[in-house]
Chain A
Amino acid sequence: QVTLKESGPGMLQPSKTLSLTCSFSGFSLSTSGMVVSWIRQPSGKSLEWLAAIDWDGDKYYNPSLKSRLTVSKDTSNTQVFLKITSVDIADTATYYCARTLNYWGQGVMVTVSS
């Protein structure tokens, strides 16, 4: 059974760095073809793809946010991380990790506020 779960700080101040973790089970990111993505959704709005990392360690970023994003994975291939630097109010959203598009985590809400 494939499951993913995001975790994060809940709330942080503007200009800080947001660190998110996606913990998953039921598959290994070392398996050929596997990709885990980060996608976010401001309340009441549509979805925005942020970044992805694949089984080979290749990383992909949304060009509009690339300078602020870092995606990585752990050596056991059971966790994926996302860091967003210099956050501001516009980064307030629910953040999802997803394996391709057919398995999604429950999402973690992040609020940026002073």
Chain B
Amino acid sequence: DVVLTQTPPTLSATIGQSVSISCRSSQSLLHSNGNTYLHWLLQRPGQSPQLLIYLVSRLESGVPNRFSGSGSGTDFTLKISGVEAEDLGVYYCVQGTHAPWTFGGGTKLELK
């Protein structure tokens, strides 16, 4: 199975600070069809995960544009440009290029 390694495991930020989360894959996530099936989820405390970014950099409908995704191959980054209180929770990367889908270990975003 593809292993996704997220760093850092915990991130402390102040409101308004910009932060980045890294997701590294054990294999290239470029599919033979040209798509890269790497997505980002946010799980707020006590809630189900929600989709933020799909296909590396596409913003899910309704998600604020302070969230952005980038990367290719095996290295991907989620950036939050100006953290807000509602952004606190655990972020997961997930890949769907290689079966089975696999998830990263998560990055917990806390208030400093």
Q: Determine if chain A interacts with chain B.
A: yes
Interface residues of A (CB under 8 A from B): 37, 46-49, 60-64, 96, 101-102, 104-107
What is the total number of residues of chain B having a CB less than 8 Å from a CB of chain A?
A: 19
Interface residues of B (CB under 8 A from A): 1, 39, 41, 48-51, 54, 60, 92, 94, 99-106
- In the A-B complex, the 4 residue pairs with the closest CB atoms: A49-B101, A104-B48, A47-B103, A62-B100
Interface of A is mostly: loop
Cα distance A96–B50 when bound, in Å?
12
A-B contact count (CB 8 A): 39
Q: How far is the CB of A114 from chain B (nearest CB, A)?
A: 28
Q: What chain B residues lie within 8 Å of A64 (beta carbons)?
A: 1, 100
Q: Tell whether, in the assembled complex, residue A101 and residue B94 are in contact, meaning their CB atoms are under 8 Å apart.
A: yes
Q: Tell whether, in the assembled complex, residue A46 and residue B100 are in contact, meaning their CB atoms are under 8 Å apart.
A: no
Q: What chain A residues lie within 8 Å of B1 (beta carbons)?
A: 64
